[in-house]
Every structure is written in structure tokens, then in C-alpha cells.
Structure 1
Amino acid sequence: MKPRKGEILKSFALTLVAILVMFIILFPVYYIFTVSITPGSSLATTEFHLIPRNVSLDSYREVLFGFSGSKLSEDFAGTIEGSAHMEGGKLYVVQGTVKGEVKYGPFTGISFEVPVHGLVFDVQSQENAQGKLEGKVSGIFVITRVNEDGTIGFALLRNVTLESGTLESVKVSGPMERYAVIRNAGTVHFTNLGKFVNSKFFGYLKNSLILATLTVLLSLFFVVPAAYAFSRMKFFGREHVLYFYLMFTQVAGGLGIAGLIALYGMVVKLGLYDKLPVLAFIYAAGSVPFNTWLLKGYIDSISPDFDEAALVDGASYLQIIRHVLLPMALPGIATVAIFAFIGGWTEFILASLLLTQNNQPLSVWIYLLMGGIGRGIDWSYFAAAALLFALPVFIMFMLAQNYIRSGLTVGGLKE
């Protein structure tokens, strides 16, 4: 039977409405994407091009492989040459150049060339000589700023040792007595490996992955046994405990700033400040009530006959959870894991309060990019960082969407 004209028009209209709704929902994401690939664009503007102009991936390259001011301190080895004189067991460098490399394993990550003068080495030879110095040096290269033209804004050469060298015909070697300071001079080059290792993004990404992974593991450790107990065990006040379990956390969450102050005081008093595992434990504790409720509902849909059959065969409760419950409740467990991951990945209030800069996750770093909101913000850089931050969550949803769909509905076996 052919569909009626009215039904076709109705389906067409519903399709248009669905497309419009999806466009409204996804438009902010598309807008942020256009900002990220348009150099020098602004986030708040009345001018918008549906198809962006002057497309460039420079912002993503800056986020992933950029070096824009975070302190870097690495061992280096290189050469020194220039004019010097030696007297009284000391070598004085009048004017010279140090060329050095920072190695990561067998690969060069950073190479630099900086002017030096006024350096003093204690040397083994007591002869007096002057002329051209050539030698090999090693030490620590510290850099905190690179100028836009590629010159070094500020850097130090520390603990420099003259491994070997010659001044005229005299062989010399020895440690340096003081720092070499470089300001707005010299050049530095980061290879792709050097940019990768020293990128701010990957440092904060590591912290986020550690925090989110620990949150997932701790949540599952507590949620799976608790959900099984509330679903299968009979004990006094079970329903009341479960409701209290959930409602108390919601009330506690509503305490807001007072709860944050109390939590901060407890963490500092116990000496647990600036520790990623402690913050992951706090995240897991906050997610356990809701996720227990969620997983309990899924386990309720699984027939208890499987548990009884395993008990008859002599299985313990732990064996039932491991060999019977876990395989059958995998969609529900995957849903809990994803919710726990998102909670640990996106939270930034506690992370900014309980962690110092070295241990802070990506969420805090992206928030701090807006420290001067409205002034001096590279919106293309910010948009690229925000989209890269959201990418892992999007990938997880895409890979586990079937688990999430069945985990949020009654998906177990039914009699």
C-alpha cells in the first residue's frame, strides 16, 4: 500500500524539525571550530562566516607543540668558542658563543646558540695564556621565554663545566663559577620531539589522564560491590539507606563554598594537599551514590536465577560478581565508567583548589587561559585547546554508545 501524501509531508516536516534542532544544538561547537581554524579571530563578534576564510591549523600546532613561556630546565652538551685569557689557574672568557643541544634519548630535542661573556672557569693548568678558546661544555639550560622573532627572551646556563678545550696550545678543563644570563639574544630551535616533550598541553594532559583513570578505577571498586549488595542482598533498612545514600550527597553538594572550605581544611590538615590520587578519591566518593543507583537498576533487570545457580555450584559472592555479574552487567558498568571518567576529566573547581600548577589537569589550564577575559586572549588558541580537551570524551561516547544506550535502559535478561 502506497503511503498517503499527508504522511509523506508529515515525515518531511518532522525531518526538517529534527535537522533544525540538531543544527541549534551543534552550532556552538561548529562556531568554536571555525574560531580555532581562523587566525586572529574573535569569539565575541557580530561578523560570522558560515564557511571560514583564511583557514589555518596554526592554533592546533601551537597548542600541541608550542612553547610559550613555561619554564624549561634540561641538561645540555655542546661547544664553546671565543676569545679568552688565563692566569692564576682561572680562565676568563671575554667574548664567546656556546652552541648546545638537549637530547631526549638518542634524539635531539632542542638546539641553541647563545652569546656569553665574563665567564670564569677554575682550570687545572697554571699557565698564563690568551687567544682563541675552543672547547666542549656541559651543564643545565634553563629557558623561560622565547620572543616572537625566535630570539631567546630570558635563559640561564647553569653549572657549566668545561669538559675539555684549548687556549692557544694550552689544554684546559674545569667548572664555571657563576651563571651565564641571556636576555633577548641568541636563538633556540625546538625539534618536533622537543616541542612534544615540552608542550604545556601534554603535561596537563598527563595529569588529566591520571586523574580520570584513577577516578574510574576507584568508582568501579566501590560501585560494583555496592550495587550488587543493594540489588541482591536483603538487609534491614536497605531502601532507606539507598535513598539517604543518594540524597545526602545532593544536600552536601548544595552547601557550596562552605563545603569547599571544609574540604580544603581537612585535606591540608591531613597533609594530602597537591596529590592527584587524593583528588581522584574525592571525585570517586562524589560519584559513587548516583552510579550505585544507576548500576543497581541495571542489575535488577538481570534474573537472580544466574546467581542462585552459581551459589548451588559452590561459587562465593566475589566469584559471582567476577564470573556472572561483570560479564552480564557490562553495559551498565561501562556507563558508570564513562560517567566517572567525564566527572574526573571535566571538573576544575576542586582541581584548582587542591592542586598546584604542576599537577593541575587540562580543565584548569583551559580555564586559566581566560584569566584576562576580553583582553589579550588568543581566541583561536583557546578554541583549539577547548576542542582538543573535549575530543577524548567524544571518542569515548562514539566507541561506547551501544553500551551507554543499553546501560541507561533496562537491558538485562528477562524471564
Structure 2
Amino acid sequence: MRIELPRRKGEIVKAFVVTLLAVLIMFIILFPVYYIFTVSIKPVSTLATTELTLIPRNITAEAYKEVLFGFEGSKISANFTGSIEGLGRLDGDTLYVTDGKITGVVKAGPFTALRFEIPFKEVRFKVDQSGSKEGQFTGEISGAFRLTRINKDGSIGFAVVKNVELKKGELDGITMSGVMEKYIVARNIGSIEVTAVGKFVNSIFFAHLKNSLFIAGLTVILTLIFVIPAAYAFSRLKFFGRDHILYFYLMFTQVAGGLGIAGLIALYGMIVKLGLYDKLPVLSLIYAAGSVPFNTWLLKGYIDSISPDFDEAALVDGASYLQIIRYVLLPMALPGIATVAIFAFIGGWTEFILANLLLTEANQPLSVWIYLLMGGIGRGIDWNYFAAAALLFALPVFIMFMLAQNYVRSGLTVGGLKE
């Protein structure tokens, strides 16, 4: 026992030093992320300084609230339901409503997104009744509401109410329905209340988030559609020039990627010439095409580790190659496929050069929006807002990786079955 004690003590000291070194390295790697987080929870009025504050004194979520629920009131176009009231006059089959107001509600799913009230001098409806009546008029309506500006005092800067349908109206005991002949334009009048749900749905962040999710999701789908059959073919099938094609497959992509600006100019010219500019699916297709060679290599290596006896048994049972891929390969190669899917998602989520080149502002993803936030360097940047936006941008990738880390680990280590 006396002989073993120094040895055990040395192992403990060695393990302690290694652990301490690992913690130090992790701290250095993660410190920028922690610093960005501290900036994001400081008061919005706080400016960036050279002073490093590890623990902020005043903590607030105002920056995250501004990113998620910040709303400029631009380009809301949605259907609404509501009511109309005013002085009514029925003349033939035309209903005149004067000195009244329209109250409407816009829904976001089951939730209320906004409420508005617009006064008007006169509107006309073509109704299913005829005659001559006057009196107080009330009715239930639905239509389209387009808002382009909200004033700071809560009034409507500019909005249009159109395609209004009178579902049910009452004038001096007469019930009627019909459609509005023209539309109502509201300028600096009325009032509007945007709920938290409405601010989130119509926030700049959420608008770009939808674009990012669409691009990254479609990139994953297209990548898997191309990569899975290709990886299976290169792993299982024997055909002339297979090895040469596989190496050329990857080499050509790397050489083409090195062309840089020249490749971007050629790609931009082709996209514009084909009339595919500002199309989100086109961008996903480009991302998928660029990720196919590497991901094919990656998935092929995993499929190589799966015994071909399963394929042969399925062929003996009369399965086609597509059935083998679906019922045999997919379940057994799930770790490798999950790894490919995550890499494809990250590629589509974080790329901004092509997105900035091939998309207009309305269709740009979060990556471009966050990059453009840095355009204020030298003219003052809201660092709190930028830090909160950057962390929210990175959150989906972090969550996806944490949920699928076991698949990624086994997929990268090629831990398949052995013969």
C-alpha cells in the first residue's frame, strides 16, 4: 500500500491539473459569448466601453423585449372582423352611413393581434334590401385592413380599410347585408392598439426569422433528398469510375469555392437571367447543392460501417433499392443522417453573402439583418439590441445541437455496425 500511495497521489494531481486546464480553455472559448450576454442584459442606454464588467449591476430584459416585440407599424396587411355604427339612410338598394366609426380586430391564430377604431364621414353599401329609411345604424362587418404607419400618440398614421362585407346590419328594424362600394383611407385619425402577440408577429425580428426558418428547413430537405441516395450509391454500388467521381465530386466543389467573387458574379448573372432573383427556394437549392459533396462523403463513411448483409437480405426478400434505403438504411444510419441534417441546417441558417446578394430586404434572413445592424459602426450602434439579436439568432442552432448531440457524436465517429 505504501508503494501505491505516491502513484495514486500523482494520478490525482494529474487529473486535477488536466481538469483545471480544460475549465480554463472552456472559459476562454465561452467568454465572448458570456460577454455578449452581459451586454444584452444591461440597460439599453448603456454604451459600449473598454471596461469589462463580468457581473452587470443593473440587469434588464429591455433589449430582448425590443428585439422580439419592437414594432414600427410597417406593412401590416390582414383580414379583420368588427362592427360599424353611424347614421344610416337607405335609398333604394344603397345604404349610406354617415358620421360613424368602424371598430375592428385582427387575429393571429386564436389570439388578438391588434384593435383599431376609425371614424369616417360617409360610406356606401350595396345591400340586399331596398326602400327609403333613416335612423341609427349598426352592423357586423369583415374585410381587409392595411396599416403602414402608427403615430407616437397611438393614432393611425396611414391605413386603408377595403373589401368590406356587411354580414348583418340593422336600420330601423330592417336587417340587411351587402358590400361596401369603395374603401376608407385613414390619415392621422382614429386609434390603434397592438397587443404583445401582434408586436411579435409583426416585429422585424419575426419577419426575418420566418425567412431563415424557411431557407434552412428547405435546405435540410433538399440536402437529404440528394445526399442519401448518392451516399448509398457510392457506398454500396460498384460502377465504372466510382472512386474517381467521388474524389472529383469533392475537389471540384473546393476549387469552385476558391473562385470567390468571380463565382458570385457568374451565379448572380445566371439567377437574374433566369428570372429567379429574390426567390427563397432558389437560395435553398444553392445551399443544398453546395453542401452535397461534403455531406455525401460524411454519410458514405457512416454507411460503409453498416454491414452489407442487411442489404443483401433485403434484396433476397425482393426489396428494391429505394425500399432498402427507406426501410433498412434510414433506421440504421439515423445518426449519420442527423449529422448531415444539422450541418445543412447550420449552413442555411448562418450564410449571409449569397442571401445578401440574391434577396431583397423583405425576404432577407436573420443572418443578413444582424449583419446589417453592424452598418452603424462609427455612427453609433445600439450594442444592447445587437447583442440580444445575436444571441437569439444563435439559440435555435444551440438547441438543435443539444437535442441531437448523441446522434452527432456517433455520426462523426462512424459508430455503425461491424461485420
TM range (shorter): 0.7 to 0.9
CA distance in 2, matches of 1:251, 1:83: 74
Deviation at 1:257, TM superposition (A): 1.9
CA distance in 2, matches of 1:96, 1:39: 45
Shift of the 85–368 alpha-carbon distance from structure 1 to 2, 3 Å rule, reads: farther
Q: If the length of structure 1 is used for normalisation, what is the TM-score?
A: 0.83
* Alignment partner of 1:382 is 2:393: no
Deviations 1:179-224 (A, max 9, x none): 53423x5432122332343233333322222222221121111111
Aligned to 1:112: 116
Deviation at 1:65, TM superposition (A): 3.0
CA distance in 2, matches of 1:177, 1:328: 62
CA distance in 1, matches of 2:241, 2:80: 66
Equivalent of 1:180, from 172, 176, 185? 185
Q: If the length of structure 2 is used for normalisation, what is the TM-score?
A: 0.82
Gap regions ≥5 residues in structure 2: none
Residue type at the aligned position of 1:400: A
Q: Secondary structure at the match of 1:369?
A: helix
- 1:1-400 → structure 2 map (5 Å cutoff): 1-2=4-5, 3-40=7-44, 44-78=48-82, 98-104=102-108, 107-114=111-118, 140-148=144-152, 150-157=154-161, 175=180, 179-183=184-188, 186-375=190-379, 377-400=381-404
CA distance in 2, matches of 1:329, 1:146: 53
Deviations 1:306-337 (A, max 9, x none): 33333344433333322332222221111111
CA distance in 2, matches of 1:300, 1:122: 72
Equivalent of 2:406, from 388, 402, 408? 402
Deviations 1:76-99 (A, max 9, x none): 455667899999x99796x77654
CA distance in 1, matches of 2:340, 2:47: 35
Deviation at 1:386, TM superposition (A): 1.8
Deviation at 1:392, TM superposition (A): 1.3
Shift of the 81–271 alpha-carbon distance from structure 1 to 2, 3 Å rule, reads: same
CA distance in 1, matches of 2:310, 2:81: 66
RMSD: 3.6
Residue type at the aligned position of 2:377: I
Q: Figure out how many residues of one structure are paired with residues of the other and give that number.
A: 408
Kept in 1: contact 2:44–2:62 (CA 8 A): no
CA distance in 2, matches of 1:90, 1:323: 66
Residue type at the aligned position of 1:200: I
* Alignment partner of 1:414 is 2:418: yes
Kept in 2: contact 1:154–1:181 (CA 8 A): yes
Gap regions ≥5 residues in structure 1: none
Deviation at 1:369, TM superposition (A): 3.1
CA distance in 1, matches of 2:179, 2:232: 69
Deviation at 1:397, TM superposition (A): 0.8
Kept in 2: contact 1:161–1:176 (CA 8 A): no
CA distance in 2, matches of 1:42, 1:243: 53
Kept in 2: contact 1:79–1:134 (CA 8 A): no
Q: Secondary structure at the match of 1:48?
A: coil
Kept in 1: contact 2:89–2:132 (CA 8 A): no
Deviations 1:25-65 (A, max 9, x none): 11111122122222315574213321223322233233333
Residue type at the aligned position of 2:196: N
CA distance in 1, matches of 2:77, 2:62: 26
Deviation at 1:233, TM superposition (A): 2.2
Deviation at 1:300, TM superposition (A): 1.9
Kept in 2: contact 1:35–1:43 (CA 8 A): no
Kept in 1: contact 2:47–2:382 (CA 8 A): no
Q: Secondary structure at the match of 1:226?
A: helix
CA distance in 1, matches of 2:224, 2:143: 47
